[in-house]
Chains A and B, each alone.
Chain A
Amino acid sequence: MQKLTLGNALIYGLILFGGLLMAFPLYFMLVFATQSRETIFSFPPPLVPGSIDQIVSNYNALMKMTDNTFWRVFYNSFYLASMATITTLFFCSLAGFGFAMYDFKGKNALFAVVVATQAIPAALNLIPFYLVMNLIGWINQPRALWFPGMASAFGIFLTRQYIQSAIPRELMDAARVDGSTEFGMFWRIILPLIRPALGTLGLITFIGVWNEFVLQSLIFRSPETRTLQTLIRAISGGTTATNVDYGGLMMGTAITVLPLLIIFIFTSRQLITGLTAGSVKN
């Protein structure tokens, strides 16, 4: 329908240019991951990916830098993000169901509390969080990072919105007549019906926990429990007297970023529609 005018061409040109800017750092992450340290820091810098040999050598450098713990650390991140996702899906949709399908005393006030907690700056909790985790001995324990967040306000909000808009209350009455318990209704009827919302919430949670940096760096100290984020930080040099092999480091960052990027490529439509639908009536 749109005519291709000069103005339109300019607009699409700009959007294309912006898209290139978005891809720019990711492209160079791949370039650096396949080049040697010397090449990365030469001038002019490398602009295209390197050879297979260099990929192998960067991979070996990464293994050496991490004392062969890299894949174990990768598993730690996977375990943490999976636990967070599974528990979040269950507890958030349960609470979302409670808020969406029941009328009970104090409902509005309680829901307002849920929404209000989202406005509390996370930084407020930084120091007390560490102290409390110490108190209960959860330092170095993955559960320190998935347990407290498994009923997140965001997830409750998202599932409540979806259940309210997608599921008629009459369905509940019908189920009750059939003798279903309240939890049974949630488990057998609601959960299967809200799969799209669960998909969105699951992706958001997995991505968020996988990428989280600050709390992970407070909690994980030993090489056995370390996650990808803390490992990348530990091997990236900074103000230390180490000879950081940037080829190996960039290989590590690529392996950290790529899995999520690939999952995202295949799920972006659902993720984004889920997000937009979830916050429509915000």
Chain B
Amino acid sequence: MKARTLIAFGLAAAAITGLVAAQGGMKKISIAAFPSLDEAVKIAMPALKKKFPNYEIELVALQYGDHHQALTTALATGQGLHDIEAVEIGFVGKFAEGGGLEDLNKAPYNAKALKAQFVDYTVGQATASDGRYIGLPADIGPGTTFYRKDILDNAGVNASELTSWEGYIAAGKKIQAKNPKIFLINSAASAAGLIWRSNIPAGEGIFFSKDNKVLVGPDSARWVKAFTVAKQIRDAKLDAKIGEWSNEWYEGFKGGTVATQFSGAWLQGHFQNWMAPETKGLWRVQDLPDGAYAPWGGSFYTIPTASKNKKEAWDIIRFLTTDRAQQIAAFKGNGAFPALKAAWSDTSFNEAVPFLGGQKARLLWKAAAQKIKPLDVNKYDSVAQTIVETQLTAVLDEGKDIKAALSEARAEIEKRARR
């Protein structure tokens, strides 16, 4: 009896809420996002309400992986889609190739005119091979090397030594000689991941060439180097064998047991806000080793074809991505590096960053962002990545021969992609 009364009450309550929303003449627009883009949307909420008083904007945040899975399944059947779907840069190429998302080049969006305002590589990344353009960039993550200046100084290492991989490994050895408890990097695999996805000629992908040829293999200098450097780091016992985004990772930063980290510029915001605020003034940044420039995270807003509020969705995402004040607010509040070039002229970009010991780091990131090239994507990228990572683990943990591992990886990827 009680349960039934409650249920009836619940149903009535749900019906009433629905009615009220409809009567108010408010248009309900939903945005699906993932951390920490959801924070940026929250920061923008007051401005959005002011700009669009008739839109009732609802934010749906899921975990990073879950969000993209949910989006995939929703696109598969055209149901459960939100009016605006955020897509991370690692996925945007894949979603661009499939259907289900609006081509923003076309009317009524006509996004062609907007493209020049964004960092170049974001446009290429969100454009499908047939020319459809599916997402406006919310933020970018220019890749950069974070290093603990105090640890380097203490070990007598000059930061410029970190700009080549040989110097980077030598520096790690010096650091460990000085204090065996301090590791050079969280995981050797991080170095490998950086090498295999940087310095890629325009138009080529990480795993596949434009004409679907597998680029992984023992004859690829890029792949051999990625595996070799990781192996050297592991053999010298320079890595802490810690996965990213784990509690151990945070502890490593807090306790000062990890000296460097390759990441997107946004990591500084995480350091400062919660990961290791006590290390203020100890970190510095510089360009990645070997003159590499690589995107490190970044997000896009897309509009599903199944959305019933496309016009409103477009209003919102155009505002979030092309309004200079919005981009600057997200940058200041959330550390989301603007994809909108006009935002870079804000005075804050010339300011010293106190957390980085007064370094004018944003100028460095600005320059790096302009040197990043769009990567060609392939629908088998995530399959290939899993295969490569498995082989890398075999090399690092079991001493498998690098050339053999890369040959096997190529054979496995080819088996998958041939179909």
B-binding residues in A (CB < 8 A): 41, 67, 75, 78-79, 82-83, 85-86, 130-131, 134-135, 137, 139-140, 217-218, 221-223, 233-234, 236-243
> Are A240 and B79 in contact, CB atoms less than 8 angstroms apart?
no
> Is the CB of B113 closer than 8 A to any CB of chain A?
no
> Are A41 and B7 in contact, CB atoms less than 8 angstroms apart?
no
> Are A233 and B63 in contact, CB atoms less than 8 angstroms apart?
yes
> Are A237 and B274 in contact, CB atoms less than 8 angstroms apart?
no
Residue of B nearest to A239 (CB): B245
> Are A240 and B80 in contact, CB atoms less than 8 angstroms apart?
no
How far in angstroms is the closest Cβ of chain B from A166?
25
> Are B80 and A41 in contact, CB atoms less than 8 angstroms apart?
no
How far in angstroms is the closest Cβ of chain A from B288?
20
Tell me which residues across on chain A come within 8 A of B76, comparing CB atoms: 131, 134
Tell me which residues across on chain A come within 8 A of B36, comparing CB atoms: 240-242
Q: Which of A41, A217, A239, A241 has the most CB of B within 10 A?
A: A241
> Are B30 and A222 in contact, CB atoms less than 8 angstroms apart?
yes
Tell me which residues across on chain A come within 8 A of B34, comparing CB atoms: 240
Of B10, B61, B251, which one neighbours A75 at CB under 8 angstroms?
B10
Stretch at the interface among B65-73, B231-239, B320-328, B365-373: B65-73
**Apart from A234-B66, A237-B63: 9 A-B pairs, beta carbons within 8 A:** A41-B251, A82-B6, A82-B7, A139-B79, A221-B60, A233-B63, A238-B245, A240-B64, A240-B245
The 10 tightest CB contacts between A and B, nearest first, are: A134-B77, A243-B274, A242-B35, A139-B80, A240-B64, A240-B35, A82-B3, A134-B79, A241-B36, A239-B245
Bound Cα distance A18, B64 (Å) = 38
> Is the CB of B178 closer than 8 A to any CB of chain A?
no
Bound Cα distance A140, B251 (Å) = 38
> Are A221 and B63 in contact, CB atoms less than 8 angstroms apart?
no
Tell me which residues across on chain A come within 8 A of B74, comparing CB atoms: 139, 221
> Are A241 and B270 in contact, CB atoms less than 8 angstroms apart?
yes
> Are A86 and B3 in contact, CB atoms less than 8 angstroms apart?
yes
How far in angstroms is the closest Cβ of chain A from B92?
17
Bound Cα distance A140, B74 (Å) = 11
Residue of A nearest to B3 (CB): A82
Tell me which residues across on chain B come within 8 A of A218, comparing CB atoms: 73
How far in angstroms is the closest Cβ of chain A from B17?
9
Residue of A nearest to B270 (CB): A241
A-binding residues in B (CB < 8 A): 3-4, 6-7, 10, 30, 32, 34-36, 58-66, 70, 73-74, 76-80, 244-245, 247, 250-251, 266, 270, 273-275, 297
Tell me which residues across on chain B come within 8 A of A139, comparing CB atoms: 74, 77, 79-80
How far in angstroms is the closest Cβ of chain A from B203?
30
Residue of A nearest to B17 (CB): A224
Bound Cα distance A78, B3 (Å) = 9
Tell me which residues across on chain A come within 8 A of B35, comparing CB atoms: 240-242
Bound Cα distance A240, B39 (Å) = 13
Bound Cα distance A217, B251 (Å) = 30
Tell me which residues across on chain A come within 8 A of B66, comparing CB atoms: 217, 233-234
> Are B62 and A130 in contact, CB atoms less than 8 angstroms apart?
no
Given contacts A86-B3, A217-B66, A233-B66, contact A135 B77 (CB under 8 A): yes
Residue of A nearest to B73 (CB): A130
Bound Cα distance A79, B12 (Å) = 13
Tell me which residues across on chain B come within 8 A of A223, comparing CB atoms: 58, 60
Tell me which residues across on chain A come within 8 A of B64, comparing CB atoms: 238-241
How far in angstroms is the closest Cβ of chain A from B334?
10
Q: Which of A218, A221, A234 has the most CB of B within 10 A?
A: A221
A-B contact pairs, 15 of them (CB 8 A): A41-B250, A82-B6, A134-B78, A139-B80, A222-B30, A222-B60, A223-B58, A233-B63, A234-B66, A240-B35, A240-B245, A241-B245, A241-B266, A242-B35, A243-B274
Tell me which residues across on chain B come within 8 A of A239, comparing CB atoms: 63-65, 244-245
How far in angstroms is the closest Cβ of chain A from B290?
26
Tell me which residues across on chain A come within 8 A of B3, comparing CB atoms: 82, 85-86
Bound Cα distance A78, B4 (Å) = 12
Given contacts A41-B251, A79-B10, contact A234 B79 (CB under 8 A): no
Bound Cα distance A217, B62 (Å) = 11
How far in angstroms is the closest Cβ of chain B from A219?
9
Tell me which residues across on chain B come within 8 A of A243, comparing CB atoms: 270, 273-275
> Are A134 and B80 in contact, CB atoms less than 8 angstroms apart?
yes
How far in angstroms is the closest Cβ of chain A from B128?
24
Tell me which residues across on chain A come within 8 A of B32, comparing CB atoms: 221
Bound Cα distance A83, B11 (Å) = 12
Given contacts A135-B77, A139-B79, contact A237 B245 (CB under 8 A): yes
Of B58, B60, B79, B250, which one neighbours A137 at CB under 8 angstroms?
B79
Residue of B nearest to A75 (CB): B10
Bound Cα distance A236, B66 (Å) = 12
Tell me which residues across on chain A come within 8 A of B78, comparing CB atoms: 134
How far in angstroms is the closest Cβ of chain B from A52?
25
> Are A238 and B79 in contact, CB atoms less than 8 angstroms apart?
no
How far in angstroms is the closest Cβ of chain B from A218?
7
Bound Cα distance A238, B76 (Å) = 25
Bound Cα distance A134, B73 (Å) = 9
How far in angstroms is the closest Cβ of chain B from A225?
10
Tell me which residues across on chain A come within 8 A of B273, comparing CB atoms: 243
> Are A234 and B73 in contact, CB atoms less than 8 angstroms apart?
no
Bound Cα distance A130, B80 (Å) = 11
How far in angstroms is the closest Cβ of chain A from B116?
30
Bound Cα distance A108, B51 (Å) = 68
Bound Cα distance A131, B6 (Å) = 31
Residue of A nearest to B70 (CB): A221
